[in-house]
Structure formats: structure tokens, C-alpha cells
A and B are shown apart, each in its own frame.
Chain A
Amino acid sequence: MSVFLSSLGFGLISAAVLAIATVGFTMQFAVTNVLNLAYGSVMINSAFVTYYLNYHAHLNAWVAMIGGVFTGAVASYLLNRFVFTPFQRRNLPPITIVIVALGVDLVGTFGLQAIIGGSYFSYKQSLGREVHFWGMYFSTLQLIIIGICIVVLGLIHWLLKYTRLGKAMRATSANATLARNSGVRTQRVISSTWLISGALCGLAGTVFAMNTGVFDATSAQLYIVLMLAAMFLGGPGSAYGAMIGAVTIGVATELSAGYFNPQYKEVIAFIVLLGMLTFRPFGLFGSEKTI
């Protein structure tokens, strides 16, 4: 029982970080049909900007985070504007875009490593006091991260369901041509999508680094796999699917770690992903791509 609860606790933290990341990732896929495997490298670059502001500009980590979020947004926007969009204009097969994304990932990750070196970094930030309830253990920091996650997901829900832009995003993702016939400037919608998802990416990168306590240029390289698992579980392109998928994967990995063996905790995520790809490539709920 205590194993279950404590693992559940850790699961919730991983899930919180993963959810923020995956929602951004899946929105990019939904609106522009780009499987942006370079997402992890943008995350880690943002995390480093936060570190820089926190460590060298002596800003409070939470303040510095704004810089990280900003970086993620701008970087993602530029990425789409100057790499993915031009390639898509040549209407190449999706696989080419994936290969390009992998190339971008290498440039992003190791470009950063070339600049900051291979050493690892921690934010100047206290974990706050240990909180212990219902057999779960959290540091205040982690509770804040979970809080941020809930707020952010709430905002995304509000954006998609109740704002003009959000509806335009969903419309564009469903049928871009018809959206244009209805007067929607889809190019702007796409740009804002990448700005917003990029902001999520930057945020995810920072909280990822905060949660692990220490990170380096390559820390997020394999994180994309967890995101893929979460996305395909909830249905590619579905923001809500991504939220559910992320929570499931986050909790499942930590539970398997608690009960089975932490060394193999990612394995369950891999199995889920391969299983989904094989049997339900459009997710448990989704039948087609819908935000």
C-alpha cells in the first residue's frame, strides 16, 4: 500500500511535467501535422536560459522561468517559420519532415552542448520543506510544479474551448481550407499555435530541470519517447488525449518502478507506445486527428 501511494505520488510529479510537455507537442502535430522530434532540444535550451538568468543574472528561479518560456516560444516559432513550413510547402512525405526534425534535434542539443560544455547544472533554488500526506512525499517545489501543471492545462482548456483563437486552431486542424473560406487567417493561427506550444515547451523544459534537480545538454534526449507514448495513447493531435495519456504514462512508469524495478520503468512506456502504434495508431479515443 505505502509503495502504491508513494509511487503514485512520484507518478503525479512525472505526469505533471510530462503533461505540460506533451500538450504542446501534440498541438504542433494537430495544427501543422509536424511530428516535431526536435521538441526535446527546445525544452533543454529553454531550461538552460532559465538557468542562465537564475545563476548568472541572479534572478529568482521562478522569475527566470519567464525567460525560459519566452525562449521556447520564440525558438519554436522560428523553427516552424524557417524550417518546417518551407519543407512542407514542397509537400514532401511526412517521413522527410521527421528526418528533418531529427536533424534539428541534433543541432539544437549539441549546439547547446558546444556552447555550455558537457557539465551539468542545477538551479539556485530550495526544494522547500518536505510535505508528506496520504503516504505520498512531495517537496514544496514539486507541489508548485503540479500546481503550475493544473493551471496551465486549465488555461489550455479555456483557450481551446472558449477563445476565438482556440476555436480557430481546432478549425484549422480539422480543415484548413474551409477555415480560410470562413475568413480565418490560418497562417496567423499556425504561428500563434507554435508560439503557444513553444511556450509550453519552454515551461516544460524548466520544470523538467527543476524536478530532476540537475540537467545537462542531453538530459531531454530520451524524454521525447515518453511524450510520444503519452501522445499516441491519447490519440495524436488531441490535447485532451495528451493530458490523459501523460497522466497514465507518468503514473504507470512510477508504479512499475515501485513494484517491479526502477531500472525498467521506461519500458512500460515503450511497450504502450509500440502497442498503440500497432493496434490503435489513432489513440484510444481519437479516430482521426482532432485537437
Chain B
Amino acid sequence: MEKRIAIIGYAQSRHQYDVQKTREDLVFDVAKEALANAGILREELGTVVTASTDFLDGRTISNVFLSMAVGAFLKDESKVEEDGAAALQYAMMKLMTGTYDVALVEAHTVGWQFNPHQVAAYTLDPLVDRQIGLLNDIAASAIQANMYMNKYGVSVEDLAAVSVKNLGNAANNEFAARRLPDVSVGEVLKSKLYYDPLRELMISQTADGCAVVIIASEDKVRKLGVECPVWIEGVGCCQEAYLRDRDLVSLSGLKSAAQSAYQMAGITNPFTDLDLAEVTERFAHEELLICEALGLAREGRAKELVNNGVTALGGDLPVNASGGALGADPICATGLVRVVECVRQIRGEAGTHQVPGVKRALAHGQFGLCAQKNTVLILGGE
């Protein structure tokens, strides 16, 4: 990369379903905290990029009343209607042009306002799938899960093991919404069945939440004398074709996104080069698919990672040490929360779920049905 960009400050809200705060307060508090964390004043910001969507927020132009809360008064401002990780990528591009040197990236969703699975149904092809009226994101992912399980002989217990791992990890994370320390495979398989094989505990926990990350260009980082900047070493993003015309079992879009991110960061063997991965798994089986697409396991073999504890908190390559999206899923913010969690780990500020000696981590954000759009970021300490 010509111009290096670093994360200098972060904050996230305590995610929970129905947080007792207005949307404006939620965003304001987190933005304020992130600015304090970065040790800068609002006046020093150059540009602000937010991520939220109109359908989820229940307002056309969802960012319009939040500019003031997020600190964008008379600042360059833009909104990405995507996952927060994509917003971070866009803000990064803005800094890379040298037009601005500090950017604030904010992402939020108040999942309580309206069922996000209904919103997912609104994203379907209005001429075909919305007319047939069967699908939503859970249904589509359930079909994906079935296809994957049939193709590679993965059992439903393997999926439940992912939930057990992530929900257990979430118990250590004070910011997570669904914290189940001692949940067992049996309990996961007894939870309410939505679309076979996806049960309540295999579906991400919708939450109200907000995450803010402050990034700065290298010159500014030096000027500010930031103690532990976390550098964005690589970034990649890719969109796949619509549900009907893509291979659901392999996330080719994520593969391509990961490839460009690895290339940029100079990673040849992700399994050894990375110390930690935080991925957005809206459903238990997605974590397996994602691990394969990221090149951490061969196709169909990701279940071994979970079953052998490789991706567990104390494993070789912990995946979702924070509990991931199964722990808390504030839709648009989820990708940015992954970034925040990586930064916490690299800076050694993760508290009870700290993984020792994290130097390089991968954050992944996704949006759309069955992970249609993916963003991969490689973060590294100094």
C-alpha cells in the first residue's frame, strides 16, 4: 500500500436486544467514547463515513438525523449502505487519497425496531422470489446448510459445535448479547427449530448495537504520537451474483476478497500468518464455509477445526474469540464490531477473552443473503 492507514481509536456499545437508549443516544455515546479512546477532539476529524440501511433503521435516509450525534457537523460525511467493514474500507480509500487524514467510521443497527429477517426478505428479487414469497435469509441459509452438509457429510452436531464454541466465547465478552457459558450440543439441538437444520441457537442474535472506529494516515499517527496503532495491512471486498446464479456451497466472493487482502498484506499461508480471526457468521454453518473460503481449511474439512479445538479460544487460530455474530448481531455494525474485537486483541485490551500474543488478525464482514457481499481486512500491530 502506498499510504499506510492505522486504527487509532475504537468503541462499541453493549449489544443487546432492546437497549434502553434512543438511536441517537446510542450513536452519540459510542462516538464520544471512540474519540476519547483515540485521544482526539471532534475538530480534528476530516471525514465521517457511516453504515446503516433505510429498511433496517425504519427511516428513509437513515443517516440524516444522526450527522450531529456522530460528530459530522460541518464535516465531510457519507453513508455506505452496507456492513460497517465496507464503510471502513471506503473511509480508508478516502484517507489514501490524502484529502483527509483522520476519519471516523460508524455503523449501527437497532434490530429491535423491525425484524431484520423480514428486511432480508425485502432484499429478494421482487419479480421472482418475493412473488413466490417463501424465502428469507434464514430459509436461504438453511438450504445452503443442507447443501453443504449433504455434499461433505457434515452432521448437524458439527454445526451445533460451532454454536457451542461461539456462545461460550460470548459469555466471556461483556459486550455480547447472548452469553451462554455452559451450553451443550444437546441444548443447541433442542432449541426452537426455524428452518431445518437451523435452530434458534444457530441463528445470530439480533441486537441493538453500534461500533465506531477512528482511523488516521501514517503521518497523522506519528504526529499524534499514538502508542499502539493497529495498521490495516490488507483489504479486499467482493460481491457475488444473486442467489439463483451462484454456487451456494463455496463462497467464491469471499475467496476472491480474501485473496486480494492476503496479497496486499503479503500473506501466503493464512493459517500460520494469522493469529486470530473474527468473522461474521450469521448462522452456525457459515463459520465453516467462511473458514474454508479464507483458506484456513480444505473444502468440507472446516468441521475438524471446530471439533479439534483449533479455532477455540485456546487453539492455534482462535476464530470468533468474542463470540461472533452468534453472540451479538447488530446487523450493519457486526463487521465493524469484528474489527473492534481484532483491535482489542492486538492491543491486548480484550480482557477476559484476550488471546495471548496476537500480532496479526483478520476481520471479516458480510452483507446480503448467504454472505453475498464480503469484506476482509487484515490488521496488524507495530
A and B interact physically = no
B contacts, CB < 8 Å to A: none
